[in-house]
Amino acid sequence: MLLPPESRDWSELPMDAFSVIFAKLGAIELLMGAGLVCHSWLHAAKLPHLWQCVEMVRLEALSLKEPIVMSEMARAAVDRSDGRLEAFEGQWSPKLKRLCLVSCYSVYKEAFIEFIAKCPLIEDIALINCGSVVFHALNVITGKSFPQLKRFELRTAFERPCYGFDVPLGIPTVVDATYPASKVRQDQDTY
Amino acid sequence: MATGSGAAAAAADAEEKESGSRMITLTSNEGKAFVVTEASARQSATIRSMVDDGGCVDKGFPLPNVDSKTLARVIQYCDEHGNKEAHTVDERAALAKFDKDFIAELDADKAFLYDVTMAANYLHIQGLFALTTQCIADTIKGKTPEEIRTAFGIEYDLTAQDEEEIKEEDTHA
């Protein structure tokens, strides 16, 4: 470390340091800030463990409010988790139109019911391999009015229709950025 | 109840054990020796495991990756955290104040912050590493990539392939 004062190479930190520093940053900061600084920071920002818990509520810092941008970032965050996503926390929007949960076995039914009931404009719900939450979802959806609902995709391990809904297979999945801040936690084992 | 002299010896023993008054020598890469208390040195998990494994305590520990200026600053942290008690509210507040002043000085000198972070990582001084990495993270927060490059003196070196990957991820939807 006998270096002249200004020659420290901040682009080449040890992985231990990157992994601790980047874990202290939110998803948006990693995707829009630190991850775009240079080659080695970009690659450090792709460490899958950084994406086990994705939190996308710090919108003010970067003034990013465009839903499409948020949606793309959420997708990128899920991609980067490389199947290790354990928690996703975003910001609830009453204008939410699409919701897709894949392999989310431990979504709390109360949280899900409360959340979906606050989304009157929902058009598209997909629950893929989500365990028992699907039955609560069906109860809510059949009992409430969702005038905009156009598609409800359900795939379970049992691969059978439920309550008269067909179970379509092979439809592309959608992950939406606007997700509840109400502590809905997902365990996403496979993506 | 032991006799007067026995009790004094036992108390001295206990004190020695408690305060870790065995001294340990750490040598910087410039050959400068720093004598510290064992309690201070034990803030470093690297040194702690060497001491516990019966390593060469008497000969001291050469640290080929740490220069004198950095080692002096690291020892300042270890002394404060290793030698002082932090049981009462006041003691904890004093330690928190020390940390705050300590990191403020490093924050103003990024090259020194870099050196101390590297040393904390190399010596596995958990509290110090947490302190410096938090300072680095706080510097990054809320900044654009260009502002981050300026703050740390980093060159833009993203390759065409990197840019393509970023673009692809952005337009995935």
Do residues A191 and A112 share a domain?
yes
User: Using 50, 70 and 90 to split pLDDT, how confident is the model at A66?
Assistant: low
Do residues A132 and A148 share a domain?
yes
Pairing outcome for strands B33-37 and B23-27: antiparallel
Residue A155, strand partner residues: A128
Do residues A21 and A108 share a domain?
no
CATH number of B21-170: 3.30.710.10
Cβ–Cβ gap A1/B129 under 8 Å: no
Alpha-carbon distance B5 to B106, whole Å? 48
Is B153 an interface residue toward A (CB < 8 Å)?
Answer: yes
User: Which of A6, A9, A10, A81 would best serve as a mutation to test chain B binding (most B beta carbons within 10 A)?
Assistant: A10
What is the pLDDT of chain A when averaged over all its residues?
A: 65
Do residues A99 and A72 share a domain?
no
The single residue listed with the structure tokens 């450090």 is A44
Cβ–Cβ gap A72/B119 under 8 Å: no
Is residue A141 predicted with pLDDT exceeding 90? no
Alpha-carbon distance A87 to A106, whole Å? 10
User: Which of A32, A38, A60, A70 would best serve as a mutation to test chain B binding (most B beta carbons within 10 A)?
Assistant: A38
Q: Which of B107, B109, B129 is nearest to B118 (CA)?
A: B129
Task: Record the tokens describing residue B28, joined without a space.
Answer: 């910087």
Q: Which of A39, A31, A32 is nearest to A12 (CA)?
A: A39
Do residues A109 and A153 share a domain?
yes
All residues of chain A having their beta carbon less than 8 Å from the beta carbon of residue B153 are 6, 8, 10
Do residues A64 and A130 share a domain?
no
Do residues A2 and A62 share a domain?
yes
Do residues A112 and A186 share a domain?
yes
DSSP A35: G
The residue ranges of every structural domain in chain B are 21-170
Is B94 an interface residue toward A (CB < 8 Å)?
Answer: no
Domain boundary (A70, A89, A108) is at A89
**Count of structural domains within chain A:** 2
What is the tens place of the pLDDT at every residue in A4-31?
445 689 998 999 999 999 999 988 888 8
What pLDDT does residue A27 have? 82
Backbone angles phi, psi at B119, to 5 degrees: -65, -40
Domain boundary (A73, A89, A105) is at A89
Do residues A103 and A185 share a domain?
yes
Do residues A104 and A156 share a domain?
yes
Q: Which of B26, B34, B43, B36 is nearest to B125 (CA)?
A: B43
Task: Record the tokens describing residue A126, joined without a space.
Answer: 């997909």
User: Using 50, 70 and 90 to split pLDDT, how confident is the model at A116?
Assistant: confident
Do residues A8 and A80 share a domain?
yes
pTM exceeds 0.80 for this model? no
Per DSSP, the three-state class of A188 is strand
Domain boundary (A89, A118, A139) is at A89
Cβ–Cβ gap A21/B149 under 8 Å: no
Asked whether the CA dihedral B108, B71, B20, B133 is positive or negative, the reply is positive
Backbone angles phi, psi at B169, to 5 degrees: -65, -40
Cβ–Cβ gap A1/B67 under 8 Å: yes
- Write out B28-87 in H/E/C secondary structure: CCCCCEEEEEHHHHCCCHHHHHHHHCCCCCCCCEECCCCCHHHHHHHHHHHHHHHHCCCC
Q: Which of A113, A109, A45 is nearest to A77 (CA)?
A: A45
Does the model's ipTM exceed the 0.90 cut? no
Is residue A113 predicted with pLDDT exceeding 80? no
Is B173 an interface residue toward A (CB < 8 Å)?
Answer: yes
Do residues A68 and A135 share a domain?
no
Please state which of the ranges A27-41, A123-137, B26-40, B119-133 shows the lowest mean pLDDT.
A123-137
- Provide the number of CB pairs (under 8 Å) joining chain A to chain B: 106
What pLDDT does residue A67 have? 58
All residues of chain B having their beta carbon less than 8 Å from the beta carbon of residue A29 are 140-142
Alpha-carbon distance A124 to A133, whole Å? 16
What pLDDT does residue B130 have? 96
What pLDDT does residue B37 have? 94
Q: Which domain holds residue A103?
A: 92-191
Cβ–Cβ gap B145/A1 under 8 Å: no
